Amino acid sequence: MPYVDVIGLDRADGLLKDEYDAAMHRAGRIWHIVSLMSQNPRAMRQSMRFYGALMFGPSPLSRSQREMLATVVSRTNGCVY
Amino acid sequence: MNRVAMDWRTAPLAAVDAALCVYADKLTRTPHAMTAADVDALRAAGLDDAGVHDAAQVIGYFNYINRVADGLGITNEDFVRSWEVAGAPMPREAQAPAPATDAGAD
């Protein structure tokens, strides 16, 4: 289990509920990396927006290259998720 | 992509992708050691300023999000088979803190 309390969809209201709804709309599910930020919905919102801009916005790097970078970084850090 | 996840150093990659992996690895492990030569290598591989910028940001982002995930004890999604289960040993450096060494060991 995570080391902090994760506020689930059933308990979410206000900004957190809005972010969960957005996450469901984007992906059809709430990924653990999203709900892990439930303690700070404002940070969650900006983090997700930043992620969207970087990984899906116009770039000289292809989607595949950006995912490759994500993979190399995560592997180097030993991040299993 | 699976080859990259296992070991990008031996995966068959285009030159620009190999250069991106070298840059990503160095920036992740030793950010203090980055120099203009590291970016020159990306330019030599064909990236322009915008591409170099985006590479740095994506690398930075995943370094940030890895730490958030591991710092807060993220759990894998139900359907995911982790690298360890799939047979890829985790990097030794990631298994235990590296002992202090003189600079230049890399």
Please say if the pLDDT value at position B91 is more than 70: no
Check B73 against A1: CB less than 8 A apart.
Answer: yes
Among A18, A14, A6, CA closest to A45: A18
Asked if A71's CB is within 8 angstroms of B1's CB, the reply is: yes
CB B66 within 8 Å of CB A77: yes
If you average pLDDT over residues B16-31, what whole number do you get? 98
Candidates B20, B30, B19, B29; CA nearest to B55 is: B20
Q: What is the pLDDT of residues B43-87, one digit of tens each?
A: 999 999 999 999 999 999 999 999 999 999 998 888 876 555 555
pLDDT in tens, A12-52: 999 999 999 999 998 899 999 999 999 999 999 999 999 99
Closest alpha carbon within chain A to B89: A78
Nearest residue on chain B to A75, alpha-carbon basis: B5
Distance CA B53, CA A9 (A): 36
A55 touches chain B (CB under 8 A): yes
* Helix%, strand%, coil% for chain B, nearest 5: 60, 0, 40
Q: Which residues on chain A are in Cβ contact (under 8 Å) with B73?
A: 1-4
pLDDT of residue B106: 46
**Which chain A residues have a beta carbon less than 8 Å from that of B96?**
none
- What string of DSSP letters covers B35-84? -HHHHHHHHHTT--HHHHHHHHHHHHHHHHHHHHHHHTT----TT---HH
Q: Inter-chain contact B28–A77, Cβ cutoff 8 Å?
A: yes
CA distance A70 to A75: 8
Task: State ipTM.
Answer: 0.92
Who among A47, A65, A78 is closest to B90 (CB)?
A: A78
Task: Kindly state the average pLDDT of the residues B5-14.
Answer: 85
CB A61 within 8 A of CB B58: yes
Q: Of A8 and B84, which is predicted with more confidence?
A: A8
A50 to chain B: nearest residue by CA? B61
Q: How far apart are CA B100 and CA A38, in angstroms?
A: 36
